[in-house]
Chain A
């Protein structure tokens, strides 16, 4: 690792002068070899978690959402916390692949594919929660505006309905974007594999890609257009999710700062989760020279920036509560920080605002174990942010007579565990069957891949 890089020369994005074949070999290796015992242990754990979640969910379907801790006044709790949490996680992928692509941030290439994959899986995980949180999940179809003989129509003034459109649009566009990016790599895998079944699958998935000039031209164009289409979605999805709260009349929810605050928090949590998983993946798959420490350093800088933005939002909420002169609003925020749920508030505050400040130090940004701990804390903190917003605001709203505490049950924890199980099971299957790094893109940013000009 060259820390002595001068400012006249960019730090190489891929370390060492790796040949194209070496890149293919490293990245395609997990898809071509038998899974290791470690992988089986990992998927054993994640699918067990998934199974626990599935059992809890099955019981919930059978007996009713009463198995959860939700009550009057806390109508939403773990269900919507998990939804917002996972949607937030799903924000890093599109940001990395779309916005950073448009800004020509080449360091994204090493992590883009994985982050996009995580986006897809996080949105899939998130999408489960609005569907299962309803009292009568078998009637969820009512949320879709379809012509019917009852003459019933959905209510377009409800932010929950906007969610349906926002999340499904986001999922569709992210999925298409991810798939388009995968086509050249599927073709590479198709060409490399010797197994007949794999060949058939990769042939179908690569849509007849031959790598011709014409193909590349169309591909680059589509990729750019999709990046342009996805960019506003990065900002819009969590804006709309934040409307679930901002459009209400409940103190602590009814806040105009929510859209930017939620978007910053989503990117923050997304990067936190991407870092968490990548730190493991680059180690396990020997990709430390492709997903370099410089990339992690840059991601930590984004974490620092978004974490500080989130901290600003926390402070601004308090300021506005005071500045508004509205005593109910003021009460809500004092209650958040010092009331019965202050422990959750301070977990959130320290994990999201205090600890990421350590990333000001270059040594910490480039220290993998410390980074790993800090990004784990970011995941915890961002989950608690949603807990604080949803639960503490609902437990004590306008009429003190209707105040009530919230206590989660084992089913709540089981389903939360199950959501992690689903996410990591999908991630592990992805890592075993598809190239986790964009081979074609990495090749373009290796040393020596660019056209040479006159040597100075």
Chain B
């Protein structure tokens, strides 16, 4: 069951109400369909439920939950796994053929959301590509065909043929190509028209298999070039020893195995001290006063994060973040306040991935603040790193000096620039959150920890004559996370969940060595595998061996 989320914008009528009106020759208004539905539920469903509550209450709770459970049966016992389920899987037609998998896209679906710019610009969790679909191919197969990312490739299935840009995706199975559907639409408005390549044309009758999977595709280089836009540089897996697994050496990603954690719960914190980079225990240049009242902080559990990007979209919507278009993403100017960093490790054939949501860390000693010549970015008493847009001249010095590079600059008036100003036009202008300033050209912006929601809680607290309660504030990203990986609140309240997260053995902050004192705590990832990962400890192996020898 669904509730309307918005009042009708224009003088329009509900389709169901129209049908009812015609059928019963009644006056059409906003309530007739709801009344019809409710009375049907009251007659047909309510008695069957045998609920103790009166119908009104039952109806309201059903509306709230969106679902009712009728005649629930106990879970069926698990059945044995039948290995011969694989037996009839068709083999590849010939050894030269490729398997092609056509999939609904994780953002635009089958194309129905193609006119939604926020979804077009939401990076693919793995490839980080926006505004396009592509033929994802394994490292080995690409080498065999002499292909590189951004080359084009002809894919022929039977009599159907289409040309796609290539993206080399580590971890893909060899001789397999995966393509997203939902692109190449010809009539999807100012945003969606002409984005990507239409993969539907490859679909044909496919006896014995689904229409989404073909085992007889022939693939050949088309010789062209096509630039894909990604929000993260292209080095998927580096063989260069200088770059290889740099995320571990720099302590950006910390992880271990469950066994390691069981043996020594503090192993992450201790491993931190074994890494190449040591925190320097020098006193800060200037004292940061206070933070005596409430102070805001965030914790992100990397064990729960799947990298889906729901938080990014929620942040975009909450904070009126404009889309910038493919050309500006290529120019490295995407505006999203939050990004999900993807780090690979392992081999190109079987890589593992770590995701890390990255946003303004609201550092206690924020390096962006002291370099702003006009004091447009300053610290608040409750630990927020704020931006005064009106004061910002746009020197971009703060962004240069941000070690996390989470600041975003309005190089153009993006709302006006993309899709003929669609973001300013009716009805999309109604989409803007009235609680958040819409930024102009030439202004720096970044995550505010949803300061508008914090202010709301402060107003409520003043009105109710109580103190501010950290747990009452939920940031947009936190609300949207399906895995509850994000926790937010008052870190000075030692009883709060966020304070417990911050003091957890697995907690660490990114780049803590440079002593900017970030206020986002990451929970190190634990992997349920048996081999110890030994990341960041390479240098100390020699020493440890020597020690054990000495003991002997």
Contact = CB atoms under 8 A, between A and B. Distances in A.
Contact of A75 (B392, B399, B516): B399
B274 interface: no
Nearest to B404: A399
B374 interface: yes
A394 interface: yes
Nearest to B252: A399
A157 B405 contact: no
Nearest to B341: A401
A328 interface: yes
A371 B1 CA distance: 84
B400 A75 contact: yes
A134 B394 contact: yes
A41 interface: no
Given A249-B403, A400-B343, A401-B343, A160 B333 contact: no
Question: Counting chain B CB atoms within 10 Å of each CB, which of A63, A139, A407 scores highest?
Answer: A139
A94 interface: no
Nearest to B367: A249
B341 A72 contact: no
Interface string B243-260: 100110110100000000
Nearest to A406: B332
Contact of A161 (B373, B400, B403): B373
B37 to A, nearest CB: 49
A398 interface: yes
A70 B399 CA distance: 12
Given A134-B442, A399-B358, A401-B339, A157 B370 contact: yes
For the residues of A in contact with B, the DSSP-based class is loop
Contacts of A134: 393-395, 442
Interface string A130-152: 10011110011011000000001
Interface in B108-166: none
Given A248-B401, A250-B400, A401 B358 contact: yes
Given A70-B396, A72-B408, A73-B405, A142 B391 contact: yes
A64 B373 contact: no
B400 A154 contact: no
A135 B443 CA distance: 6
Contacts of B370: 155, 157-158, 247
A142 B235 contact: no
Interface in A394-436: 394, 397-405, 407
Contacts of A216: none
A167 B247 CA distance: 41
Interface in B332-375: 332-334, 339, 341-343, 356, 358, 367, 370-375
A152 B232 CA distance: 38
A72 B250 contact: no
Contact of A66 (B250, B276, B411): B411
Interface in B230-278: 232-233, 235, 242-243, 246-247, 249-250, 252, 276-277
Contacts of A73: 332, 399-400, 405
Contacts, number: 174
A397 B252 CA distance: 13
Interface string B438-460: 00111110000000000000000
A74 B407 CA distance: 12
Question: Counting chain A CB atoms within 10 Å of each CB, which of B372, B375, B410 scores highest?
Answer: B375
A71 interface: yes
Given A158-B372, A400-B235, A400-B243, A64 B442 contact: yes
B441 A404 contact: no
Contacts of A64: 410-413, 441-442
A242 to B, nearest CB: 14
Contact of B394 (A65, A71, A244, A249): A65
Interface residues of A, number: 53
A250 B356 CA distance: 21
Given A75-B399, A250-B403, A328-B250, A135 B332 contact: no
Nearest to A327: B276
B405 A72 contact: yes
A249 B409 contact: no
B393 A404 contact: no
Interface string A285-301: 00000000000000000
A152 B375 CA distance: 9
Contact of B404 (A142, A248, A402, A404): A402
A71 B242 contact: no
A251 B443 CA distance: 25
Nearest to A157: B370
A20 interface: no
A130 B374 CA distance: 14
A70 B393 contact: no
B373 A69 contact: no
For the residues of B in contact with A, the DSSP-based class is loop
A168 B331 CA distance: 34
Given A71-B332, A328-B250, A154 B374 contact: yes
A399 B400 contact: no
B510 interface: yes
B511 interface: yes
A269 to B, nearest CB: 23
B393 A140 contact: yes
A209 interface: no
A72 B443 contact: no
B68 interface: no
Contacts of B440: 136
B204 interface: no
B341 A136 contact: no
Contacts of A398: 250, 252, 403-405, 511, 514
A64 B439 CA distance: 14
Contact of B341 (A133, A160, A164, A399): A399
B397 interface: yes
A312 interface: no
B442 A65 contact: yes
Question: Counting chain A CB atoms within 10 Å of each CB, which of B247, B341, B401 scores highest?
Answer: B401
A76 B400 contact: yes
A70 B409 CA distance: 10
Given A71-B332, A399-B341, A155 B372 contact: yes
Contacts of B235: 400
A40 interface: no
A159 interface: yes
A327 B511 CA distance: 13
Contacts of A63: 412
Contact of B405 (A133, A139, A328, A399): A399
A279 B375 CA distance: 46
Contacts of A244: 397
A314 interface: no
A360 interface: no
A210 B333 CA distance: 63
A335 interface: yes
Contacts of B442: 64-65, 134-136
Contacts of B232: 401
5 contacts: A70-B396, A71-B411, A72-B408, A158-B373, A398-B405
Given A65-B411, A135-B396, A401-B343, 10 more contacts: A64-B410, A135-B409, A155-B374, A158-B370, A161-B373, A249-B403, A327-B277, A394-B400, A399-B358, A404-B332
Q: Which 6 A-B pairs have the closest CB atoms?
A: A135-B394, A135-B442, A66-B411, A75-B396, A402-B405, A401-B341
